[in-house]
Structure 1
Amino acid sequence: MFTKLLLTKNTLKMATISVTLVSFATAVNADDAADYPTKPIQFLVAAGAGGGTDNFARVVRPMFEEALGGARITVVNLPSASGALAHQRTANGAPDGHTLDFASTTLVTSLAAGQNPIGLDQLTPVARMQSDVMALFVNPNRYPDFESFMEYAQANPGKVTVGGTHTASPDHVAFLSLRDASGLDMSFIPYDSTGNATANVLGNNIDATTTSLSPLLSYIEAGQMMPILVFSDERLADYPDVPTTVEYEWDLTDGNDRAIFVHADTPAPILQRIEAAFKEVYDSEEYQTYAERVNLTYRDGWMDSGEYRQRLENNYELYSRLLSNEQ
């Protein structure tokens, strides 16, 4: 699990001292929250420039500055090691709420794969703001619908290839979930970007790609790519003819989440102030207009800190099983 509860003789000896400090610490923390922020804030983006997580951070930056009454914020992209550098820098920094880690579901998938040493014992989620719907995409000239794709896969076991971004990414986990539920004999081909995976679908080098909707909107509008299966409870209004995983009785509805994290020891009053500011951003007309424009309103994106922590822990168990079966 992410968190470990360790009870030793030393912690028992310190218990009485800790209790006597609670009221004093709470008062100090409350003062800190009232003054927050006291210096410039950094948004560390655990992804490269131009992707969904980067766009998310840059879109909310001016809104978050306004919600905090004029804070100064810089955005820093740290895509190395599936974003682990951003997580490490947040976890090793000061627990004062001035370093915010913007991450996607890759945080938990890379942790489940053993690629990311930073978990929820070192990071605390502030909130989730986006849950981008995952889908299976194809070149419509090759597969007109999911039934034709599934029939080909069943008739040609081991020959179907599905691409996506790197191993242990949300794309990869979506593929593993689909393969596990459907029983189709398919292989995953990792690429360094969504663009490269898409290019290989268009060039008929691979059969399909699993990724989220928002990065491929321009390809869909141009008729070059088409979703043939969406990971959703209900059909999407913009794609009423595309079936869902639930219609096939596959409990696959996970999206690519985008959320904000801080140092795990950030005082609760500061954490609550940051969460409240992001909720104000999320509820704003400006943010909701943006979310609708990039198809991020199919499901409610908001989850508060506690609710999202529980989701992460549940997903960690699922992704660990899927990835261990892949090895």
Structure 2
Amino acid sequence: MNVTYRTLAGATALAALATPGLAQDSYSPSEITAFVAAGAGGGTDNFARTVQPMLEERLDTNVTIINLPAASGAVAHQRTATSEPNGESIEFASSTLITSLAAGQNPIGLDLLTPVARMQSDVLMLVVNPEKYESFDAFKAAAEETPGELIIGGTHAASIDRMAFLGLNAEAGFDLNFIPYDNEGAASANLLSGNIDGMFNEISAIQGYMESGEMIPVLALADDRLEAYPDIPTTAENGWDLTFGNERGIFINAETPPETIGAIEAVFEDIYGSEAYQDYAARTFLDVRPGWLGSEEYRAELEKNLAYFQELMAAN
């Protein structure tokens, strides 16, 4: 897997922080509070709790995790944005930060939060019940033959899966409908029962259903066919500019000094490249495409996605 490395402040800090327990003078937190903009047990929470001991080891400090899922994570964003800008409060968040911002449901933007690093770029898949559609060609034919009748389920009105639904409608010219559910389990249950025609989900979240044959992914939001799933067609090969996924990363109060942000970024870069983290990524199918982006690159990606999601929401 190719990893993009920064060469300035982050690289300097990495050299100082590569040994567990050794921290740069500019960043030696007495403790860290990590807000998680999601509930317990989900992908973002699992990410935070996997990284927690790795962070504690490298910084020789305690990391306390606090889950704040309310209002699509807006409470976590608010707590992070109003915390002391000393590097002792960080946030683990997913693409919901940007989708809820695009939908006008989150008042905390990239002027108040600074991205430290992206660690995961989970691939979104269009998932169907194989008893209803055996392939994307079958789904596509039904969408074209019965416009306005097929239904896609998702978690809520400002989710990354709704953005995928809006993007597919726009790129493919489909007339699909969307039903938001309170949680992923409800959407899955309705797909299994045949009440809906499809849902967007991440590879890491549907492995059990794939292994049992109850659900199959038929379309990947990706540029190229995935090495692990060579039979699944992609949006790009259909000529559609629709390749975003559910990204997860670390954020901090935007007033935090740049040298502190650079030092924290370097710690997470070291964690990302470690054998322990890569083993976790492989076990949870989070290594299908590279996840790492440094602070500046991650901000650029977030700003690009925000503009695109705002266009999708404005058109719908």
TM-score, normalized by the shorter chain, greater than 0.5: yes
1:65 maps to amino acid: E
Q: Secondary structure at the match of 2:315?
A: helix
Contact 2:228 2:288 in 1 (8 A): no
Residues of 1 paired with 2:29 and 2:144: CA distance?
60
Q: 1:1-327 residue pairs with structure 2 within 5 A?
A: 34=25, 36-68=27-59, 70-326=60-316
Shift of 1:35: 5.5
Shift of 1:298: 1.6
Amino-acid identity (%): 53
Q: Output one character per residue of 1:105-159: Cα deviation in whole Å (capped at 9) or x when no partner.
A: 0101111111000011110000000000001000111100000001111111111
Match of 1:12 in 2: none
CA RMSD of aligned residues (A): 1.2
Residues of 1 paired with 2:34 and 2:154: CA distance?
26
Residues of 2 paired with 1:239 and 1:157: CA distance?
29
Residues of 1 paired with 2:304 and 2:231: CA distance?
31
**Number of paired residues?**
294
Q: Secondary structure at the match of 1:274?
A: helix
Residues of 1 paired with 2:79 and 2:244: CA distance?
28
Contact 1:132 1:296 in 2 (8 A): yes
Contact 1:67 1:280 in 2 (8 A): no
Match of 2:14 in 1: none
Shift of 1:213: 1.2
Could you tell me which runs of 5 or more consecutive residues in structure 2 were left unpaired when the two chains were aligned.
1-22
Instruction: Extract structure 1 runs of 4+ deviating beyond 4 A.
Output: none
Shift of 1:65: 1.1
Q: Secondary structure at the match of 1:34?
A: coil
Residues of 2 paired with 1:45 and 1:155: CA distance?
43
Could you tell me which runs of 5 or more consecutive residues in structure 1 were left unpaired when the two chains were aligned.
1-31
Shift of 1:192: 1.6
Residues of 1 paired with 2:230 and 2:24: CA distance?
47
Judged with a 3 Å threshold, the aligned counterparts in structure 2 of structure 1 residues 38 and 297 are, in CA distance, closer, same or farther, namely: closer
- Greater gyration radius: 1
Shift of 1:36: 2.9
Shift of 1:170: 0.6
Higher helix proportion, which one? 1
Residues of 1 paired with 2:33 and 2:203: CA distance?
28
Q: TM-score, normalised by structure 1?
A: 0.88
Residues of 1 paired with 2:253 and 2:177: CA distance?
38
